[in-house]
Structure 1
Amino acid sequence: MGPFCIKDTGKYGKGLFATRDIKKDELIEVSPVLISPKKEWKYLKKTILFHYCFYWGKNDTAIVLGYGALFNHSYSPNVMYDNNMENLTIDFYALVDIKQGEELTINYNGYIDDMSELWFEVIK
């Protein structure tokens, strides 16, 4: 396991929390993905796997495996992700210095300033 542990967030269910201080730009997690082609999207969005999907290239969808599936959403994330097309992974990096005990969060929209509609209610 990386520099984190799994804990209950009290509002979103399980989440990832730093077990030590994490430095800005540090690689936190490398999560393998399964690639689902565009033609399968209409079926995929009807399943629980829909909640673990990331855009992959122009048209395909990546279903994230491993700990990558446990990052919760924030409009002020402390972690960013990069689609590693060559290795078929999503790589998660610290956006800022993160203190031990902080929850690790990403912006599910993919962009820090993207406030487009999400498929779930954001609890404040």
Structure 2
Amino acid sequence: MPVEDATPSLPLVITDAQVRAEYPQRLHECLDTGEAAKGVSVAMGGCFNAELQAQDARLNAVYRAVMAGLGDAGKARLRAEELAWIDQRDIGCREAASGGSLDRVEIPACLLTETVRRRLALEARSPVRSSARGEVSLN
């Protein structure tokens, strides 16, 4: 039987330190080599965008796991919550942009941070936990 009250009553606070701890070594290696290490914003943005794709896949896996444990009403609530989160994330990251070349770094970095934060929040509501490699296992 699906669990309808899997949503915590209080919002979970995920700190920036918790988010940064989730960044894998491959991101740090990407930022510390080649053009990215020289501060070339396009290369740095490429590092963040590559990791964003990986983290988005992890988020989607956790989202599917949470959805699987919910009934129809819970699924509808989570779907609405997720759509609102996407809108809020996108608006917030666009507002953080300065309008210069650093936006090629700052926007994907912001999207990455908020995607990891969302995954951690969903994992707290899920019977699964995703590994740094993106594998999903039962908690």
Taking structure 2 as the reference length, the TM-score comes to 0.25
- Structure number with greater CO (CA < 8 Å, separation at least 6) is 2
Point out the structure with the larger strand share: 1
Taking structure 1 as the reference length, the TM-score comes to 0.27
Point out the structure with the larger helix share: 2
